[in-house]
Amino acid sequence: MRPHELKLLVIFDVIMTEKSITQAAERLSMTQPAVSNAVARMRILWKDELLVPDGRKIKPTAYAKNLWEQVRDSLHNINQAIEPEDFEARSAMRTFRVALPDIALDTLWLDLRKLFEKEAPGLNLHAVPYTIACTKPMLDGADVDLVIGQSNRSLENICTDHLFDTSYVCVMRKDHPLTKKRLTVEEFSLAEHLLVSLSGDIASPTDQALQQLGLTRRIAFTVNKFSSAVPIIKESDLIAILPTDLIHNYLDCGELAIAHPPVDIPHSSISMLWHKRQSADKGLMWLRKQIKQIFIKRRTDQVEKVLGFIDS
């Protein structure tokens, strides 16, 4: 490979990562015309259009996607070997993209913003919608730096760091008919349920637990955000199985009744996930450390509050 081709591959890698010629130019400390000229040379050299307009963004061709798939990990490894990235939070200028459900965002984002204002004023943090099915494609494609979500199976080239296991409670409005006596599994299965489904799929561990007992339930309503569940529950006859992490914010309002689920629902393992190509990324290592510290502190307080409320 000729030296100028390697330089073009480096520019190509940054463009594909940033999905923007303008942002790639900023990251490379180049002018936008210089990056555009480099793209023109790539098209001639590799005999493909590579990048085509898509509204205000650019869209890679099939050839560009295949090329990037083959070279990006090698380029990153070479860069790390020759020039390991240093990271000083106070002076760093960088944008992190994190895919996570809204319940995790509510737990993390304010604390992280306060931390950034105090210790890392040049860092940006962008939230990206999360579903389990999109975890590997987003990390493989460098659409995000980090995913916070379920990690019930190993994924090729994806690293994980366990954060916590989610526990669940049964939630309904305070004057719901089922609050008048101990909730049985039969009453539970006959009730009308609200389900939080980030993907739209209505299959859940709760339904699997009921099926083992020969029972089913009616999913009358679904929502695709955890934050939408409680306002509906408070003013309807629906009941829901929700994570303890969500409920602690609503205990003091006096509008909810909370009980232990009448079936055994397996815990969900929640982890941070990232691509192995970023395992030596010191900036991402710093962010993961901050996230883990926040989760450990916040969740201990939340779970203890919810369980104490149920048992009181």
Instruction: Say what the pLDDT of residue 85 is.
Output: 59
Instruction: Say what the pLDDT of residue 213 is.
Output: 94
Percent of the chain with pLDDT over 70: 88
In a domain, 221, yes or no: yes
pLDDT (tens digit, 9 = 90+) per residue, 142-200?
889 999 998 767 888 899 999 988 888 999 998 999 987 688 999 999 999 999 998 88
One domain, residues 105 and 50: no
Of 82, 109, 124, which residue is a domain's last? 82
In the predicted structure, residue 227 carries a pLDDT above the cut 70: yes
Q: How far apart are CA 301 and CA 278, in angstroms?
A: 32
Instruction: Say what the pLDDT of residue 27 is.
Output: 77
CA end-to-end span of the chain, whole Å?
Answer: 71
Segment 209-237 mean pLDDT: 94
One domain, residues 194 and 227: yes
In a domain, 259, yes or no: yes
What CATH number is attached to the domain comprising 28?
1.10.10.10
Q: Which domain holds residue 36?
A: 3-82
One domain, residues 132 and 281: yes
What CATH number is attached to the domain comprising 274?
3.40.190.10
CA–chain centroid gap for 307, Å, is 26
In this structure, what are the phi and psi dihedrals at residue 61, rounded to the nearest 5 degrees?
-75, 170
Beta strands in 167-275 (DSSP E): 168-173, 192-196, 218-223, 239-243, 256-259, 268-275
pLDDT (tens digit, 9 = 90+) per residue, 84-136?
556 889 988 888 999 999 989 988 999 999 999 999 999 999 999 998 889 99
Of 250, 266, 282, which residue is a domain's last? 266
One domain, residues 230 and 279: no
pLDDT band at 81 (very low <50, low <70, confident <90, very high): low
Q: What is the CA angle 13-109-93, rounded to 5?
A: 40
Nearest to 169 by CA among 262, 67, 34: 262
In a domain, 238, yes or no: yes
Instruction: Say what the pLDDT of residue 158 is.
Output: 93
One domain, residues 161 and 173: no
The count of structural domains within the chain is 3
Strand pairing category for 51-54 and 57-60 = antiparallel
pLDDT (tens digit, 9 = 90+) per residue, 192-203?
999 999 888 888
Sign of CA dihedral 288, 291, 297, 299: negative
Instruction: Say what the pLDDT of residue 53 is.
Output: 83
Segment 214-238 mean pLDDT: 94
